[in-house]
């Protein structure tokens, strides 16, 4: 049932070219520059007139929400707030009929996320779900939404569900942009044309596996690890850190790279691996200076770079090349090597990768 893989997690990592494809299948029309999301059509008027979007989720799904915030604000010019469901539900939040609340959940059963949307429903908000398990509780509670169609995810550490959530959020951002008229037709055509190639770029990215095994063997005895990124690279860093903590039990933290000098830089010494998303996009130059700050304190830098990069490669101790893609699609590619790093480190440390201690696949109690 693991399809020849040692663990479900590895199988699910390798399924991503397919699962990402499945989450956009039948929903994008690159030639016409059109996005179609059946479960949102009924709410297109609401979306056009919404004041803001509030995303509620937990764990990895919350990280996907942060990516969604960047994309929706960028393309649809609609303010987005991303909330931990557990905090939102107990805060007497300010919500009304003009708000759209999006719940993101792989299982569709997470107790805090369910309670958060129940509360939003009572206050008259329109509820949309982004869930993976068909027929689960959250899709039944929400007015509309879109399934991620990633297929069953067995490993406790979420991998393909995350990239599917990000894919659906990308589609939602473009869909809202389309109905609000905040994106040009030509931009939509070029983004959708590129989005269609992402599954094959993910396939390419998976080829970094052998190199990652080498890097993992160098990092496996670390006691701590820092993940840095800017823009959508920041939620990717948070997700990388969560993955490492939950399956290898190495203490890890994700930070926006520029926040380093506001505290965490004090932790850097030769024992501290720092994994940096340093791909060629709008924050490239800034990330380079963040890497210099780490190197000056003898930190060990592992950089995720764009194919053909030379500048970061010179500075970093190890670099992992991923294909070039539009900034909007960066999370779908940059996440892959981080999943693999965590996986291999956990295996090398003899951890139970698919069922880490103290964790359950679905958290149905608060
Ligand atoms: O099923 P959900 O997406 O609602 O689950 C939320 C979190 O419990 C989940 O993402 C958790 O953080 C994963 N173990 C992360 O790998």
Instruction: Give 115-135 pLDDT, tens digit per residue.
Output: 999 999 999 999 999 999 999
pTM of the model: 0.98
Task: Tell me the per-residue pLDDT of 345-365, one tens digit each, with 9 for 90 and over.
Answer: 999 999 999 999 999 998 988
Which of 346, 363, 366 has the most ligand 1 atoms within 8 A of CB, as the residue to mutate?
363
> Any residues with CB less than 8 A from the CB of 312 and at least 6 apart, and which?
278, 287, 288, 291, 303, 305, 319
* Whether the CB of 362 sits within 6 Å of ligand 1: yes
- CA 195, CA 360: separation in Å to the nearest integer? 33
* Ligand 1 centroid, distance to 74 Cα (angstroms): 26
pLDDT at 147: 98
Distance 259 CA to ligand 1 centre (A): 26
Confidence of residue 39 (pLDDT cuts 50, 70, 90): very high
Q: What is the 3-state secondary structure (H, E, C) of 162-185?
A: HHHHHHHHHHHHHHHHHHHCCCCH
Total number of residues shown for the chain: 366
Is residue 107 lining ligand 1, measured as CB closer than 6 Å? Answer: yes
- Tell me the pLDDT band of 101, cut-offs 50, 70 and 90: very high
Q: What's the pLDDT score for residue 109?
A: 97
Residue whose CB lies within 8 A of the most ligand 1 atoms, among 57, 84, 106, for a mutation test? 106
In the DSSP assignment, the letter for residue 78 is -
Q: Which residues of 199-236 are buried (b: 16+ CB within 10 A; e: fewer)?
A: bebbeebbebbeebbebbeebeebeebbbbbbbbbbbb
**pLDDT range class, residue 241, cuts 50, 70, 90:** very high
- Ligand 1 in reach of 339 Cβ (< 6 A): no
Ligand 1 atom at minimum distance from 133 CA: 1
Mean predicted confidence (pLDDT) in 203-208: 98
């Amino acid at each position: 049932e693991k399809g020849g893989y040692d663990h479900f997690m590895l199988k699910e990592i390798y399924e991503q070219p397919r699962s990402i494809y499945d989450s956009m299948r039948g929903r994008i029309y690159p030639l016409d520059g059109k996005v179609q999301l059946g479960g949102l059509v009924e709410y297109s008027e609401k979306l056009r007139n919404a004041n803001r979007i509030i995303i509620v989720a937990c764990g990895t799904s919350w990280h996907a929400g942060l990516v969604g915030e960047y994309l929706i604000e960028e393309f649809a010019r609609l303010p987005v707030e991303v909330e931990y469901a557990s905090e939102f539900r107990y805060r007497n939040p300010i919500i009304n009929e003009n708000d759209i609340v999006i719940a993101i959940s792989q299982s569709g059963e997470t107790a805090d996320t369910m309670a958060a949307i129940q509360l939003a429903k009572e206050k008259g908000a329109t509820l949309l779900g982004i869930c993976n398990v068909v027929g689960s509780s959250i899709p039944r509670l929400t007015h509309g939404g879109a399934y991620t169609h990633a297929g069953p995810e067995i490993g406790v550490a979420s991998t393909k569900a995350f990239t599917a959530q990000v894919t659906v959020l990308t589609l939602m951002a473009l869909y809202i942009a389309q109905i609000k008229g905040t994106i040009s037709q030509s931009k939509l055509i070029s983004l959708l044309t590129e989005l269609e190639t992402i599954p094959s770029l993910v396939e390419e990215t998976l080829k970094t596996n052998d190199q990652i095994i080498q890097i993992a063997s160098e990092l496996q005895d670390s006691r701590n690890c820092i993940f840095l990124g800017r823009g959508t690279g920041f939620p990717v860093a948070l997700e990388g850190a969560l993955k490492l903590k939950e399956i290898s039990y190495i203490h890890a933290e994700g930070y926006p790279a520029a926040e380093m000098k506001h505290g965490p830089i004090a932790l850097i010494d030769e024992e501290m691996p720092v994994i940096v998303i340093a791909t060629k996009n709008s924050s490239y130059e800034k990330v380079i200076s963040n890497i210099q700050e780490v190197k000056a304190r003898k930190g060990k830098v592992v950089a995720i770079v764009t194919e053909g990069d030379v500048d970061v490669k010179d500075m970093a101790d190890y670099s992992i090349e991923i294909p070039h893609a539009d900034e909007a699609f960066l999370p779908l590619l940059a996440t892959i090597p981080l999943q693999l790093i965590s996986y291999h480190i956990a295996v090398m440390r003899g951890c139970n990768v698919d069922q880490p201690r103290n964790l359950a696949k679905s958290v149905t109690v608060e």
